[in-house]
Amino acid sequence: MFSQLQSVATDPILGLMAEYKADPNPNKVDLGVGVYKDEQGHTAVLKCVKEAEALRLQQEDSKTYIGMAGDLNFNAHIEKLAFGPAHQVLLANRVTTAHTPGGTGALRVAAEFIKRANPNATIWVTTPTWANHISLFQAAGLKVREYAYYDYNTKGLQTEQMFADLNNIPAGDVVLVHACCHNPSGMDLNFEQWQRFTAIAKERGFTPLVDMAYQGFGTGLDEDAAGLRYLADNVPELLLCSSCSKNFGLYRERIGAVSIVATDSKVAEIARVNLLSVVRSIYSMPPAHGAIIVSHILDSNELTALWHQELAEMRNRINDYRQLIIDKLAAEGVTDDFSFITRQHGMFSFLGITKAQIDRLKAEFSIYMVGSSRVSIAGLNHSNIDYFARSVATVLKG
């Protein structure tokens, strides 16, 4: 049976990582993978996480199952973090949450949940979007279609085309929207655009699915959730997929959450039992470690303050390097307009250079980025930014 299998293409980012690893050039720069790195190029464990883990080691007295919804204390924390502590959807018991193996697990559970609620639903994603969105929704049996989003010419949003596309989406379909730090473009909706998105969702009756994988990486924890909170204030129902991979640096612990906001508490209760039965049929119960670390941090004012500080350090470092890219390229004599980089947020931006220039950067300078020219800004640091700017300037000059 297995010999009948056809080979499948590997993820281009994983291929790029392997090439980077094998490259002997001591000046090599990895701008491919979407993982935060510090000034030393290291993805360190946050101090708040280390402290929470010490506490967990001391306090943990059982390894028994934690139930299909996972850690209820974590779920309550993540709801408050996302919606704000006194949001009307929380006060009205309209939200049900399950913690999941990462944001990816949240998205897959959400997809299976949608399939149950409406087997004919199409899910609409931004053009472009995180590549795994498409494969995981298709794997769950959902039809996937795209709506206009990023404009490669203006390096902004295709605003009017986007709203025109959204205006044609029927009730019963689901529209995925990135809460902040759009992957791969870094281009987010501003508040006015969230308001327009919300008005269309209400009028058309489609269900929004908000993917929030980078809360706190854009402008701030509350600022990055402002669109989601407004949406939740105004639409009858939505799905939210959160991830603690980036903002708590818990990548390999696989911790995220799926939340369903329903029209009222009765529907939320029915949604809850359906959500849990979806979970039961995929992985039964989530791993506990990441959720309990986050719970320990958010249970403690001291650890929460430390987390806020460490999160701000990561965010500020990325934002500083967004400005530095512009300054250093200008200093190298580049006259092309790169000002869009500071209008974008989070881990990524498209440099907007050609495939030939990307290939040259890799072949001649060992600078690795994905074929779309998406760069992971956190791969830059004081010891490679000048080399990066000089190399980009060289390939731009031809």
Pick the piece of the chain touching ligand PMP (CB under 6 A) from 100-108, 144-152, 333-341, 376-384: 100-108
Instruction: Out of 32, 102, 218, 227, point to the residue binding ligand PMP (CB under 6 A).
Output: 102
Q: Closer to ligand PMP at the Cβ: 178 or 362?
A: 178
Per-residue DSSP letter, 167:
T
Where does residue 228 rank: exposed (0-12), middle (13-18), buried (19+ CB within 10 A)?
A: buried
Out of 37, 71, 124, 130, which one is annotated catalytic? 130
Could you say whether residue 34 binds ligand PMP (CB under 6 A)? yes
- As given in the structure block, the two tokens for residue 125 are 């994603």
Q: Closer to ligand PMP at the Cβ: 104 or 366?
A: 104
Site string for ligand PMP, 224-243 (x = CB under 6 A): -------------------x
Could you say whether residue 104 binds ligand PMP (CB under 6 A)? yes
Could you say whether residue 183 binds ligand PMP (CB under 6 A)? yes
Could you say whether residue 128 binds ligand PMP (CB under 6 A)? no
Q: Closer to ligand PMP at the Cβ: 230 or 251?
A: 251
Interface positions, 1-30, toward ligand PMP (CB under 6 A)? none
Tell me the CA distances in angstroms from 62 to 51, 54, 57, 69, 280, one per residue in order.
Answer: 20, 16, 11, 18, 21
How far is 254 from 211, CA to CA, in rounded Å?
16
- In degrees and rounded to multiples of 5, residue 162 shows phi and psi of -60, -50
CB of 251 to ligand PMP, least distance (A): 6
**Residue 327 catalytic?**
no
Site string for ligand PMP, 60-99 (x = CB under 6 A): ----------------------------------------
Q: If binding means CB under 6 A, how many residues of this protein chain bind ligand PMP?
A: 13
**Residue 130 catalytic?**
yes
18: left (phi over 0), alpha (psi -120 to 50) or beta: alpha
Query: What's at 68, amino acid-wise?
Result: M
Strand-strand pairing, 174-178 and 207-212: parallel
Could you say whether residue 245 binds ligand PMP (CB under 6 A)? yes
CB 367 within 8 A of CB 361: yes
Residue 119 CB-half CA count within 13 A: 0
How far is 238 from 260, CA to CA, in rounded Å?
6
Active-site residues, by number, are: 130, 211, 246
Give contact residues for ligand PMP (rule: CB under 6 A). Answer: 34, 102-104, 130, 178, 183, 211, 213, 243, 245, 251, 256
